[in-house]
Amino acid sequence: MTYIVTQHCVDCKYTDCVSVCPVDAFHEGPRLVYINPDTCVNCDACVPACPIEAIFSEENLPSKYADWTKINADGAAAHPVINQKKDALPGAKSLDELKAMDGQGFVPAPPFV
């Protein structure tokens, strides 16, 4: 089992999660961070650290995010490790803003990797 970063991270890229990861499982892409499924030890530290509820355990991943398992694996393979908190992207949304967008059916445009 691994943890999966999902669409709330796209174009926000809060990195609170990376600073609590004990095994440097996060990788930084231009639009979001990814969790490497081969490195993740399933410790759950990243979930409560994420301010926008973008991370789920593989076993609790909502079906609408099923494609994000592969997106994380591919993104982790393509980008360098990140293990220190950075500023979020300019214009990063709050959790309330993202939930309102979800209610309107918003899905960020690919590419994600």
Alpha helices in 9-89 (DSSP H): 46-49, 68-78
Instruction: Indicate the domain borders of the chain.
Output: 3-85
Q: Is residue 35 classed exposed, middle or buried when 0-12, 13-18 and 19+ CB atoms within 10 A define those classes? A: buried
Which residue matches tokens 């059916």?
105
Write down the pLDDT at residue 93: 97
Write down the pLDDT at residue 19: 96
Write down the pLDDT at residue 79: 98
Tell me which of 3.30.420.40, 1.20.140.10, 3.30.420.10, 3.30.70.20 is the CATH number of domain 3-85: 3.30.70.20
pLDDT category of residue 1 using cuts at 50, 70 and 90 = confident
pLDDT at 6 over 90: yes
* Token couple for 14: 């809060």
For 10-59, how does the pLDDT look when each residue is reduced to its tens digit (9 = 90+)?
999 999 999 999 999 999 999 999 999 999 999 999 999 999 999 999 99
Write down the pLDDT at residue 113: 83
